[in-house]
Amino acid sequence: MKTIFTLIFILMTNLSIGQKVSGTWQGICSMVDSLNPINSSATWFYLELNIVKGMIDGKIRHEDGAASQYYIYSINGKVLENKLIEINEVTIVQKTKNALIADKQQFIFEYDEKKDYLLGKSKGGKSTLTLYRASFNILENTPNILPINQLAKFQQDLKDGLSSPEKRKEELKAFKFEPIYFDYDKDIILAQYEAYLIEMIRMVKSHSDLRILITGHTDSDGSDAYNIDLSKRRAAALVYFFETHGLPPSRVEIDFKGEKEPAGKNDTDAGKQKNRRVDFRFI
């Protein structure tokens, strides 16, 4: 009975992984270099996977964008019991005339569900691969599918901890703004908000067309002029935090309202605390 349940579990696991990763993936292949995440040896890499009942066929395209050369291997493989994917290069099916063809390789991939990447290593661990979902099948008669100058940008995205392009869209839809609050008459960001702010930075970096508007507020204690200045200092504290954590000032705008737009009543301590805040929105 235990054996039957084990076989059923393995089958369901294979089916689940197959459904998640079947299709075309694109990304980078680079030599292992832990000291240099942005690796000049990186090249574009494409993987087309057809997975049926745990068995794999498809194609791999290796590309040298600088020389406009590529070659394509047919592949076979299987889904392993531990959810890893084993892939073997089999036969050259297409190549450019002067392509320098590497020996057939074996790869092991795993699916990073949190960030929606397919992560791989060649047998022997000499190269690593990070792939994201593509919207096309592997092209066989195009010198460069993706521009070579995008390699460094993608590597920088990985260094910044960004998810795959498709996952970023989901993350943006799910992201919820919350104000952060300040102590009385202070413009110092409390430590409890730092993780949230760093996640906001990651969200802005994930979308090149996004900027963030920071709006400072105060309670009603003090003069109008003093509160305008305090709300400005609170907004400026966020700009400094964002910049020191890798978000350029060009991605940020500020506004400051003083006591003009309260979130709570200024005749109670609880209401005043709600007003000592900074709000955010994407623009």
CATH assignment of the domain containing 130: 2.40.128.120
Examine the domain organization and report whether 146 and 32 are in the same domain. Answer: yes
Same-domain status, 146 and 196: no
In this structure, are 146 and 179 located in the same domain? Answer: no
In a domain, 93, yes or no: yes
223 and 144 both lie in a single domain: no
Please tell me the pTM assigned to this model.
0.81
Asked if residue 161 belongs to a domain, the reply is no
Of 135, 150, 165, which residue is a domain's last?
150
Its domain, for residue 29, covers 2-150
Q: What is the pLDDT along the chain (283 residues), one digit of tens a residue?
A: 555 444 444 444 445 777 789 999 999 998 765 445 455 678 899 999 999 989 999 999 998 866 688 999 999 999 998 789 999 999 999 999 888 898 999 999 999 999 999 999 998 878 899 999 998 888 777 777 787 778 888 999 998 999 999 999 999 999 999 999 999 999 999 999 999 999 999 999 999 999 999 999 999 999 999 999 999 999 999 999 999 999 999 999 999 999 999 999 999 999 999 999 999 999 9
Alpha-carbon distance 37 to 154, whole Å? Answer: 11
- CB atoms < 10 A from the CB of 61, how many? 23
- Alpha-helical runs (H) found in the chain: 2-21, 151-159, 165-174, 194-205, 224-244, 269-275
What CATH number does the domain containing 270 carry?
3.30.1330.60
Q: Give the count of domains, the chain.
A: 2
- In DSSP terms, 121 is beta-bridged to 108, 128
